[in-house]
Chain A
Amino acid sequence: MNRRLSIQTIIIALGAAFVVAPALASPPAKIALKGGRIIPVVGEDIPVGTVLIEHGKIKAVGKDVEIPYDAMVIDISGKVVMPGMIDAHSSRGLDIRNENLDVTPFLDVYDAIDPSKLYFEDALRDGVTSIHAIVGNNCVIGGLSRVIHPIGITPDEMTQQPSVSLKLSVSPQRGSDRMAQLATFRETFRELGEYLENLAEKKYEESLEKKDEKIKVGPDEAKKLGKDLIKPEDYDDKHRNLVKLTRGQLGAFVYAGRAGDVAAAASLAKEHGFFKRTTLVLGASCYKAIDEVKSANRPVVLDSKLLYREENPITGKITETFIPRVYADAGVAFSLLPSSNTSLAERYLNYQAARCVRNGVSRQAALEAITINPARALGIGDRFGSIETGKTANLVVMSGDPLDFSSWVDLVYINGIRAYERDDDIRLKQLLGEEKPEVAEPAKDEKGNGEAAGDKAAKADTDSAEDKSEETSEKAEKKKE
């Protein structure tokens, strides 16, 4: 345990040195990424072109962009520049993924974001520039989420967009049942209604008191009269976010784990007035409810498990369904998620997209699924998710095509700041054997124990510990199927 801790500390120190440092340097006002292939995602690819960044925004994109004299020119010929990828739903940057209470709309992931998590370094290395930090699926109503980028040493620095959405889950977790889950929703919203009525009554009484008058009407009428007297600051912490939710002032990420939950999720959202702000987070088997998903016409975030195996009850034959294909064929725009299991290739968003293409989803749809679709689902599509003039300069320069798995992420820009450069990624070099580990002590220690040495093993170790809970749930799910 101690050993692991010390290694983690060192890793974090390293991370801080190599990843955060460039972020802190003040950026040049103008940068021109010149000569590379541009995949803007929105719009046609530009075989050779230039992206001009000015003050953190994309100033111009095109084949013949005039480069200002004072711009810092970066030659990316032979490389590919694409919008930074967006992880539409991740709890990996949080110290604890799930609060142990059912209904916690008063929480904010702000308090859980742990900037020292290795995950952020990995995300950067993998080309992810926006992360929707949100609580896990175990809640009934979880707290507020926010969009962050993987650089910065405080949650404030990392925040791109606070208060994006509330997390809701219609699927029961941990042996609980859906009946109780939905009953909890009913009770929560009923209580909210009661709270608002009582608040109205109170406000009415207060208003009379101020005017030095006495109550003239009964409680029912008072509730009506007091309704308009409530000011936004009157709501208490427990109810504030719920009120916003029901008035469409907050987004909702609603998790539906099974096909049967889709209809429940949609009707819940409709009933309580946040349907128009709802994004459906769908478990693997939800593709069976594709008709219902389609008719809901809401943004969809798919589970990282893209393949669904089903056994024919009689022949025992196993049929495999490639889930995104079902959505793509139905014309439903979806966002992909990376796996939280870092030992799988599925941890890379571009790999997930590549699998889609391999399984018959169009290249465009696959690219959208890791860039502009999540941005739109998060309500930040006007600022992120594509290379368009005026958008925030969150860019990834890859050594080759993003869907080619031999491509590396070479450069990452966030807000026009160079956040990552492969040439300076010492840990990657160590991993590839290009450079000896600087910290030798723990390695020696391990050799003494006859164990495999090196940072790689240690890293895998910490990560797998981190992902333990998720992995077991995955296993359980597999078992069920």
Chain B
Amino acid sequence: MHLLAIKTRRFTSSLASGLLRRRCVSLIACSFVALNVAMAHGQLLERATVITNARIITGSGKVIEKGSIVIKGGRIEAVGAAAKAPFLSKKIAGAGKTVTPGLIDVWSALGRTGTAGDGDATSRAQDGFDRYARDDFREALRNGITTVYIGADGGAGVNGTGAVFQLAPGPGRSAGKVQKKDAALCVNFGSDQSPLSRLKTFAAIRKQFQSAVDYRTSLEDYEEDLKEYLEKLEERVKKEEGDKKDSKDAAKDEAPSDDEKPAPKPADEDDSDDDSDEEEKDDGDDDHHSLDYFFAGADNKTLPAGNGKGDAKNGKNGKDGDKKKDEDELKKPKKPAFSAVSEVVLKAIDHELPVRIEAHRSADILNALALADEFNLDIVIEGATEAYLVAVALADAEVSVILGQVGRSAVFEDTEFRRHSARNAERLTDAGVKWMISSGGRDPRASRFVGFNSQMAMPSAGTKSGLQWSWLTRLTGDASRFLSLSQQVGRVARGMEADLVIWSGDPGDPASIVERVFVGGKLAYIAPQLAGGGS
């Protein structure tokens, strides 16, 4: 509006005639109406959205009992009791409502297509994400989920890289925006395997890391060889030039070293095109001349093969025996075959990618720790069903875990979950192991209930005061920090992406409904009750 007013003033002042001015006012009025309509559709100018007088749970453990949130440009512009609504902003009455950051499922299967399992480290979760799984996304939003980490699914082995997605509305009927590519290297220690195949699985995984290390070594060796080769090559080229010079300036044959150094350098590839080209041509000509010189009277055409070798042998004849030998052995080093898998695995070894290892049984978890130790990896254990049995080892190694579904039954499950305990989290807490809670990464539909899952996981939640919102913090501020996205999502704070959920009441009460969800400042979900019945 301010902007508009200024423009208007400038416009009107530039007009002298009162008549014109009057006409202009009506024109402005018209344009104002048009502008308003346009703004309502978010086309012309983006209007700020303000959620007023709501209880705000910030995601970092703080609660603002009555505050406002200003959303503009996809981000949170201001938060707090003092936050003022900009003029002409769109207001959403937040009285009696609770606003939280969008929930984050740090190990999800939402939107994952296919059953998969035949990939390797080169698979990428973003390739498997179905942006048109609209119903599933809607369900997730309806339960307050806005961000999910999707792993590269697969069987036992190194399965590829995971990615983080934001459930932002996309073009057409699609949704989901890649927020972070290649967020982790996904390794699965297999499930429901016989002890023998477990051994094989682990050996195979270990081998992949080992061969990545070997691959690097061979690459480094190659680089070294190549450097040496290039040096020698340069030397040889120089020498040839020197020889040429020798032959040209036959009189000065004993003093080439002085000349050579300042001379136009070993006309090499790195110089500008023009120079080197010309130089090379010259060289070529000279070369022939020099050859002619050496093999006086011989026909160029009949001698090429002999010349090549002869040059090496005869050219340096009697000058330096050692060098001659070197020249003979000047052999182009062979580049090791490219390994796409090792390239990815090396990123993990270089700490560019955290490694997520799905392991449930205690023995597997210990194996994972050993693997991390051997290759110096940043690992996180996914699933970690029996983590409570090896909690001390996890604490010592400072490895954190991501827990799956707390409420699963242990009775008819396969061997991975046989020792499932709903009190896993509690005992990990006691042992000082850091843990995150998720939907378990296997079931696309479970992701929406990660909130309930977190409530179930919290040790002594509800029994101690002050821990009331720890389940929520775990899924927002803690989760974003865990995914290294703490500057983007997971908190209601100035400058963060506006991923916000407006709950009708206490988010921990199943009777509360999600009324609106903003993702990246855009309204991604509105409850059918508010939207007027349409779904």
Contact = CB atoms under 8 A, between A and B. Distances in A.
30 contacts: A175-B114, A177-B113, A177-B128, A178-B128, A179-B119, A179-B127, A179-B128, A180-B116, A180-B118, A180-B119, A182-B124, A183-B123, A183-B127, A186-B122, A211-B304, A215-B233, A215-B332, A218-B226, A218-B230, A219-B332, A259-B130, A260-B113, A260-B130, A260-B131, A260-B133, A285-B132, A288-B132, A288-B134, A289-B174, A290-B172
Contact of B131 (A183, A191, A263, A290): A263
A212 B152 contact: no
A190 B152 CA distance: 21
Contacts of B132: 258-260, 285, 288-289
Given A214-B308, A215-B233, A178 B269 contact: no
B417 interface: no
A177 B122 contact: no
Which bucket holds chain A's interface residue count? 35 or more
Interface residues of B, number: 52
A157 interface: no
Interface string B213-238: 00000000000001001100100110
Nearest to A219: B332
A258 B122 contact: no
B226 A219 contact: yes
B535 A314 contact: yes
Interface in B133-154: 133-135, 139, 152-153
B173 A179 contact: no
A183 B119 contact: yes
Contacts of B287: 213
A420 to B, nearest CB: 43
A217 to B, nearest CB: 5
Contacts of A179: 116, 119, 123-125, 127-128, 152, 160
Contacts of A312: 535
Contacts of A258: 113, 130, 132
B307 to A, nearest CB: 5
B34 to A, nearest CB: 26
Interface of A (DSSP majority class): helix
B256 interface: no
A64 interface: no
A221 interface: yes
Interface of B: 113-120, 122-125, 127-135, 139, 152-153, 160, 171-174, 226, 229-230, 233, 236-237, 268-269, 280, 284, 287, 303-305, 307-308, 311-312, 332, 335, 338, 340, 535
Nearest to A310: B135
A3 B264 CA distance: 85
Given A177-B113, A177-B119, A179-B116, A214 B236 contact: yes
Contacts of B229: 218
A292 B172 contact: yes
A219 B236 contact: no
A112 interface: no
A313 B120 contact: no
A180 B174 CA distance: 22
Of listed B125, B153, B332, residue having the most chain A CB within 10 A: B332
Of listed A190, A212, A213, residue having the most chain B CB within 10 A: A212
Contacts of B130: 258-260
Given A214-B308, A215-B332, 11 more contacts: A177-B116, A177-B118, A179-B125, A183-B119, A183-B124, A190-B338, A211-B304, A213-B284, A260-B133, A260-B174, A288-B132
A434 interface: no
Nearest to B327: A214
A319 interface: no
A183 B226 contact: no
A395 to B, nearest CB: 40
A183 B135 contact: no
A203 to B, nearest CB: 15
Contacts of A288: 132, 134, 172-174
